Chain A
Amino acid sequence: MIRSHMPALRQPHEPPALHDRAMDNLRFIRETMERASAFTAVPGWGQVAIGLSALAATYVAAHQATPKAWLGVWLAEAIISLLIAGWLMDRKARKLNAALFSGTGRKVVFSLSPPMVVGALLTVVLFRAGMVQVIPGMWLLLYGTGVVTGGMFSVSIVPVMGICFMLFGAAGLFVPNLSGNWLMALGFGGLHIIFGTIIARRYGG
């Protein structure tokens, strides 16, 4: 290892390089902390919990008589998932010194929320048009998009999970006679549980 040299700090006039190096050191610390927190910014076991709640939601939704009630169940599930994810991220942020690593969380939220908003708007449009059958594919596709972009700041398995969601979504939109409930169960349930377990086991948290 090459030891970096730092002139004695007692010198009366520090050269500008020392100031630059201090800035560089601070940047290095911040970047390392951000990278390190990205490891578990997506809590693996939290994803498993979200996946399980999605399986329960699929069961309840499949027994609803009207498309409106079906949609209502999934909206409730979306809120539950957000609460689980939000609670876990908040817990994590409290445990760590939040001031220095707020960057990662912000990046994830900013890259996940635009596709979520688009999904919400399209849900309204498609529901009004009576095209409820394409909604699961659209949801999976857009959620996958958000996970791919948000996962760029995390470990490489996260974007892979996003791509899987996108594939499921594309299948839902283009493969005829595919059951929406099965897609939701396998996508939001299965993929979350499988990838959540891998992330938790391999990366901890």
Chain B
Amino acid sequence: MARPATVKHEAHKGHAEKQKLRGVHGGAPHSAHEIDRIIHERLRLGIISALAANESLTFNELKHLVKTTDGNLSVHARKLEDAGYISCAKSFEGRTPKTEYRLTSSGRRALERYLDHMEALISRMRKS
């Protein structure tokens, strides 16, 4: 009797935790009205936009383009990677490590959704 209840409780707790995490780290929008927090952050929006214009970009190119530090870029790129919006491939060019980022198809769709969202906001404002 007690066992299933605990499991249920655990599951519930896990879900609540996830919800909270969504608030903190951003997450895919639950509904069409909600903004995609993963993309909405400026630096991450920059990363996605830069990758949308290129097949792939190296870590240094991206850092130069979005004008940020190594640490900042890796943190935010990691978030986008975790969300499945970009992919990251590590290789060696001679002895120097090379990190290459690409936009995934779900990342491209997310950017399109975000653009639609912004356009909808603007057109709604024009109408009123």
Contact = CB atoms under 8 A, between A and B. Distances in A.
- Determine if chain A interacts with chain B: yes
Given A10-B33, A29-B49, A33-B50, A22 B61 contact: no
Quick one: which of A1, A32, A96, A204 has the most chain B CB within 10 A?
Answer: A32
A162 B9 CA distance: 69
Contact of A19 (B40, B56, B122): B122
A51 to B, nearest CB: 24
A95 B51 CA distance: 12
Contacts, number: 91
B55 interface: yes
B110 interface: no
A90 interface: no
Contact of B54 (A4, A6, A22, A36): A36
A97 B118 contact: no
Interface string A1-29: 10110100110001010110011011011
A37 B41 contact: no
B43 A40 contact: no
Contacts of A29: 45, 49, 111, 115
Interface in A17-71: 18-19, 22-23, 25-26, 28-30, 32-37, 39-40
Interface in A105-132: none
B124 interface: yes
Interface in B26-62: 33-35, 40-43, 45-46, 49-58, 61
Interface of A: 1, 3-4, 6, 9-10, 14, 16, 18-19, 22-23, 25-26, 28-30, 32-37, 39-40, 95-97, 100-101, 203-204
Given A14-B121, A37-B54, 9 more contacts: A14-B124, A14-B125, A22-B119, A26-B119, A29-B45, A29-B49, A29-B111, A36-B50, A204-B58
Q: Which 3 A-B pairs have the closest CB atoms?
A: A19-B125, A32-B49, A36-B50
